[in-house]
Amino acid sequence: MDVPTRREVESTLADANGARTTLAARGGWLRKYLLVFAVGSVAVVLLIGLGGRTGATVATMLWLFLVAAMSWWGARQRVIPRGHKLRNLLGFGGWGVLYGATLLVGKSFFPSEPAFWVPAAVLSAVPLVLVAFWPSRRSEGQRRGGVATARNP
């Protein structure tokens, strides 16, 4: 059994550190993904609340397109950030509760009232924005040996 030289060990450690840095950089897509959904949610809620039947139809088409496009884009990413399942669960779970409550209360008591729909649209997107900017586990991951997982192509 050959013992590696100091130079070989240093080279291997440099390669591992470079791979970790690359994985961390490529894992930043999740923040963009969540923020695009947050912006889309604001637009959809405003269209539903203030746009009448036409607005609701346009909102439905917009949301279907957004979900399809973002699902396709997300599936093409080669790195899965640590904690992505929890972020998605909390972000989309919280969004779903606020979105449903916004539509229920808004349609029942504040139809076509911008004073309700504008702040409610922004509020409904807050869970997605919060988890998008949730601190990553980079520092902890670096101590434990990784920050992301590469997908098989």
Domain coordinates in residue numbering, the chain = 30-136
The pLDDT value recorded for residue 136 is: 65
Identity of the amino acid at 82: R
The pLDDT value recorded for residue 142 is: 42
Residue 50 has pLDDT above 70, yes or no: yes
Residue 143 has pLDDT above 60, yes or no: no
**What global pTM score does this model have?**
0.77
> Cα 95 to chain center, whole Å?
12
- CA 49/CA 150 separation, integer angstroms: 41
pLDDT band per the 50, 70, 90 thresholds, residue 140 = very low
Which is more confident, 116 or 79?
116
